[in-house]
Amino acid sequence: MNPLTSALWERRPQHSLRIVDAHAHAGPYSLFFIPEAGPAAMVRVMDRCGVSHAVLSSHLAIQLDAAAGNAATAEVVGHAPGRFTGYLTVNPWQDPVGEIEKWGADPRFGGVKLHPDLHVYPLTGPRYAPVWEFAQRTGCPVLTHTYDGSPYNDLPMVEEMAVRYPGAVILAGHAGATPLGFDAAIGVAQRRPGVVLEVCGSYNTGADLARMVREVGPRQVVFGSDFPFIDLRMSLGRVLFSDLSDDARAAVLGGTMTDLLQWRDNARRARSSQVTAP
């Protein structure tokens, strides 16, 4: 039993480490009913479990309207700025350059979200080029939906972008999403150090997660839940009970993602050291 599962059995929030949810959303979604899809309930669930922070894109942004949806994401972050960071959603059909210019420097946003399956456009397509150039230049992480066998966001396409933009940090959302996808995702992450596996979804288990960590290391695997698309506790439970060392579990649950969100500070430090260097 680790401190997290002890807290769970006692039905109290965990406070032993900082948990960051690397894959969250907010708001309603037309395909199905989500009770309490707004930020207040999201914070309540986070508090119930002891989750410190979540990085989110609004459902409006990924499902329909990037401009209105990114504004909605910014509003949700504003609801609880210490608890949320936004993903800037880039829809390749809806002015990618304009959205990056509008929100790229806004501190409410700490990453870029791509959903090629929903937008019916390949991850490798030229309309996404402004995203990759931005990510390569700044270190801003890019979370993309992935799904094994998809014509738009299969794992070989993630690898292709990691090769073309070796300085970009790519979070492979759902890590391929299926058991076959997990195998492919592990292979890509082993070959491409800029690829980080994000583990939410409906088909993975704690055993899958432990295998990812064994095979690619804990600094390339991050916890995400997809909440409120899916309840946060489903994915969190898998990590809690998975066969990981304490250090690895801490890295997966929040340490790595906390570091990845520091890209603006890292850039400032780099500029500062250049200025002061003799």
Partner 1 sequence: MLIDTDAMLGRHPARDVGAGTVAEALAGMDRFGISEALVGHTLSWLHDPRTGNQALLELVAGQPRLHPCWVMLPDTCGETGTPAEFVTAALESGVHAVRAYPADHGYDLAGVDAAPMLDAVAGAGLPLLLDAAQITWPQVEAVSAARPHLAIVVGGLGYRVLRQAAGVLARTENVHLGLANLSSHCGLEWLVERFGEQRLIFGTGAPTRDPAEAVTRLLWSELDDGAVAAIGAGNLRSLLRKKARAA
Residue placing its CB nearer to partner 1 in the complex, 46 or 170? 46
Contact between 80 and partner 1 by CB under 8 A: the answer reads no
Contact between 228 and partner 1 by CB under 8 A: the answer reads yes
Contact between 37 and partner 1 by CB under 8 A: the answer reads yes
Residue placing its CB nearer to partner 1 in the complex, 45 or 221? 45
Contact between 174 and partner 1 by CB under 8 A: the answer reads no
234-241, Cβ contacts within 8 angstroms, sequence gap of 24 or more: 235/199, 235/200, 235/201, 236/19, 236/49, 236/51, 237/8, 238/199, 238/204, 238/205, 238/206, 238/209, 239/199, 239/206, 239/209, 240/2, 240/4, 240/5, 240/8, 241/5, 241/206
CA atoms within 13 A on the CB side of 199: 32
Tell me which of 9, 275, 277, 278 binds partner 1, using CB under 8 A.
9
Residue placing its CB nearer to partner 1 in the complex, 44 or 271? 44
Q: How would you list the strands of the sheet with 109-114, edge to edge?
A: 20-26, 53-58, 84-89, 109-114, 142-145, 170-173, 195-198, 221-222
Contact between 278 and partner 1 by CB under 8 A: the answer reads no
Task: Report, in Å, the least distance between residue 56 CB and partner 1.
Answer: 12
Separation of alpha carbons 227 and 234, rounded Å: 9
Residue placing its CB nearer to partner 1 in the complex, 109 or 241? 241
Q: How would DSSP label each residue in 160-175?
A: HHHHH-TT--EEEEGG
Tell me which of 8, 60, 114, 195 binds partner 1, using CB under 8 A.
8
46 touches 54 (CB < 8 A): yes
Residue placing its CB nearer to partner 1 in the complex, 174 or 192? 174
Separation of alpha carbons 262 and 264, rounded Å: 6
Contact between 236 and partner 1 by CB under 8 A: the answer reads yes
Contact between 227 and partner 1 by CB under 8 A: the answer reads yes
**Structure token pair of residue 231:** 């309840």
Tell me which of 58, 152, 229, 255 binds partner 1, using CB under 8 A.
229
Binders in 175-214 for partner 1, by CB under 8 A: 179, 202, 204-207
142 touches 112 (CB < 8 A): yes
List the one residue out of 229, 212, 228 whose CA is nearest residue 220: 212
Tell me which of 45, 72, 77, 252 binds partner 1, using CB under 8 A.
45
Tell me which of 18, 108, 233, 264 binds partner 1, using CB under 8 A.
233
The values of phi and psi at residue 25, to 5°, are -135, -165
Tell me which of 54, 112, 240, 250 binds partner 1, using CB under 8 A.
240
Q: Stretches 87-95, 117-125, 229-237, 254-262: which one binds partner 1 (CB under 8 A)?
A: 229-237
Contact between 252 and partner 1 by CB under 8 A: the answer reads no
One-letter amino acid at 77 equals V
Binding-site ranges for partner 1 (CB under 8 A): 8-9, 11, 31-37, 41, 44-45, 48-49, 179, 202, 204-207, 227-234, 236-238, 240-242
